[in-house]
């Protein structure tokens, strides 16, 4: 673990990364344990993409949409 201190600009990025990783891991585990179906997980990701739609033209919004889209294609593909 780094001993570097976060600057004010790094904190929002770190918060977003932590939240995203926790959310993705939780979604994967819920599908794995059959608490959620694959379709339900995809619905959650689709919902997240719709919520991001107003930010699609910003660099961060576009990148976030691509990341969620990648999850739909790679981790939560219908089998």
Domain extents in the chain? 33-79
| CA 53-15-47 angle, 5° bins | 30
Question: How confident is the model over 18-62, as pLDDT tens digits?
Answer: 999 999 999 999 999 999 999 999 999 999 999 999 999 999 899
Q: How many whole angstroms separate alpha carbon 45 and alpha carbon 65?
A: 10
Give the end-to-end CA distance of the chain in Å, rounded to a whole number.
38
What pLDDT, on a 0 to 100 scale, did the predictor assign at position 38?
95
pLDDT interval class at 13 (50, 70, 90): confident
């Amino acid at each position: 673990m780094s001993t570097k201190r976060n600057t004010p600009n790094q904190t929002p990025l770190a918060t977003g990364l932590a939240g995203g990783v926790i959310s993705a891991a939780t979604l994967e585990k819920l599908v794995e344990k059959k608490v959620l179906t694959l379709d339900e997980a995809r619905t959650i990701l689709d919902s997240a993409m719709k919520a991001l739609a107003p930010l699609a033209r910003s660099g961060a919004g576009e990148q976030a949409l691509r990341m969620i889209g990648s999850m739909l294609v790679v981790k939560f593909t219908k089998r």
